[in-house]
Structure 1
Amino acid sequence: MRPLLVALCLAAGPALAADPAADLAVGKALFLKGATPACAVCHTLKDAGSAGEVGPVLDELKPSADRVAAALRNGVGMMPSYKGQLTDAQIMAIARYVAAVSGR
């Protein structure tokens, strides 16, 4: 059932924000596997069960959604830009997820 939810939410695009629970589920799925390389490979985020050691620990950084979205679009340091790989709706889903679960 969860893969179907993710597929439907990804197809929905900007409408994701209308259902916060679905938006967070999509953001988490994208954080774990939706991008190449996956966010979870480099970043530690307790809610995602990730323990990456390359990028900052997001639970400590507590970035805003705007900060995460900017990093995803433009890249930061060693982090690549995902602008050509993810849609704006997908970037915002990841950004809202990270901000929400990191305690921002």
Structure 2
Amino acid sequence: MPRPPLLAASLLLVSAGAFGANADAVDAAELALGKRLFTQSAVPACALCHTLRDAGSEGAVGPVLDEIKPDADRVTKALRNGLGNMPAFKTLSEAEIKALARYVSTATGAAASN
């Protein structure tokens, strides 16, 4: 039996809302992972060298991320390949690199292109 149009539209809106809420939860979890990696879990922790207001870090070795506002692609490349004195983070998984790059680009207000 066909559903009445109003009921079908209501189900579609409820479904879209549920997926949106799930996407928001995934985004929040990814950003939380990125922040945790930045502040403590990456070896060495990014916060040891970099200043990032959102993370409460005041590193004096690397650039101030709030000033250079790297996008996610730039952070990803630096994590994979190293940059200047910064080592490559070979022990991070692809998901961790993505989360860390997204966190930095979001926290600095840069475009998250990754």
The aligned length equals: 88
Matched, 1:72 2:99: no
Runs of 4+ aligned structure 1 residues displaced above 2 Å come to: none
Name the TM-score, length of structure 2 as normaliser.
Answer: 0.74
- Note the 1:35-50 alignment, pairs <5 A: 35-50=42-57
Q: Which residue of 2 aligns with 1:93?
A: 99
- In the alignment, the residues of structure 2 paired with residue 32 and residue 18 of structure 1 have an alpha-carbon distance, to the nearest angstrom, of 21
Deviations 1:66-95 (A, max 9, x none): 000100000001000002x10011011000
Give the unaligned 5+ runs of structure 1: 1-15
Q: TM-score, normalised by structure 1?
A: 0.81
Contact 1:65 1:98 (8 Å CA) reproduced: yes
Provide the rounded CA distance (Å) in 1 between the counterparts of 2:24 and 2:92. Answer: 17
SS at match of 2:87: coil
Q: Residues 80, 30 of structure 1: CA spacing in aligned structure 2 closer, same or farther, 3 A cutoff?
A: same
Identify unmatched segments of 5+ residues in structure 2: 1-22
Q: Over aligned residues, Cα RMSD in angstroms?
A: 1.6
Distance 1:17 1:51 in 2: 29
Higher relative contact order (CA 8 A, sep 6+): 1
What percentage of aligned pairs have identical amino acids?
61
User: Larger radius of gyration, structure 1 or 2?
Assistant: 2
